[in-house]
Amino acid sequence: MGKYKEDLGLALELAGMSDQLTMSRFEATDLSVKSKVDMTPVTDADLACEKMLREELAKARPKDTILGEEFGGDATPEGRQWVIDPIDGTKNFVRGVPVWATLIALLEDGEPIVAVISAPAMRRRWFACKNSGAFRLFGGEPRRLRVSQVETIEEASIAMSSLEGWKERGLRKEFLELTDSAWRLRGFGDFWNYCLLAEGAVDVALEPEVSLWDLAAPYLLVTEAGGQFTSLDGENTPDGGSAVATNGRLQDAVLGYFNSPATAVRQTEVPT
């Protein structure tokens, strides 16, 4: 894993600690659930996990900064920064659905260089290191990942999280036009969309509104598996507020659905 081997080792060690903590609270009868300002849920497991990760990183990498979903921080384009989502898929976690994961990424000057996605209830873990490939652990030895070779939307399997955000952005019509043209649409949701894309199991994964802590780790996993990952505006970054990830062959075609002159006009007409 080259120059980032020690950082990846640390991230994997932290993921193991997170797995133990989060699994101890998954389906717990005394799980505490509250609503945040944006009306999304947060549990005692989210808070305890991020707190633990911050404490461990402060000891292991005291000079690095930290950005996390629950305790904040400021994204920085300079230096080394760890980006954490203690439980991506909290709504699933609360309802007893096993599709949730801890996301840990290390950014250097704003670019992801190490990523770990750990889904203990699914018994899966994914990881990637800059210029060293993407891998999945699911029993046995790590399996190197490669995106699919599908070349047309008509043959493509698309993964999404929900329809609501597309409506809020004034892009529901464009999204439905895209998915109506595709071979298949499935709502796997959250991190799993991007992991399946990196595995070659789906060909497109996209979200209209999403945060850096949701995307930093998936961004590196997808790109190291040979895919492409941009915002809806086509910017190659995990910090663009939206996500369009594909096997690379489909990137321009997918972005074309959302970046026509007619789309721009309709977006300006959406009430704020």
Q: Are strands 124-129 and 228-230 parallel, antiparallel or unpaired?
A: unpaired
78's tokens: 């300079």
Is 87 within any annotated ligand binding site?
A: yes
Report the candidate in 230, 207, 233 with the shortest Cα–Cα distance to residue 219. Answer: 230
55's tokens: 């404490």
Distances (CA, A) of 40 to 85, 93, 129, 165, 193: 14, 12, 31, 14, 20
Q: What are phi and psi of 146, to 5 degrees?
A: -140, 140
Is 85 within any annotated ligand binding site?
A: yes
Report the candidate in 103, 75, 71 with the shortest Cα–Cα distance to residue 87. Answer: 103
Assign 34 to helix, strand or coil: strand
Is 56 within any annotated ligand binding site?
A: no
Distances (CA, A) of 67 to 86, 119, 200: 11, 20, 30
| Distance, CA of 29 to CA of 94 (rounded, Å) | 11
Counting every residue written for the chain, the total comes to 272
Is 109 within any annotated ligand binding site?
A: no
Which residues line the annotated binding site for Mg(2+)? 69, 85, 87-88, 214
Q: State the binding site.
A: 69, 85, 87-88, 214
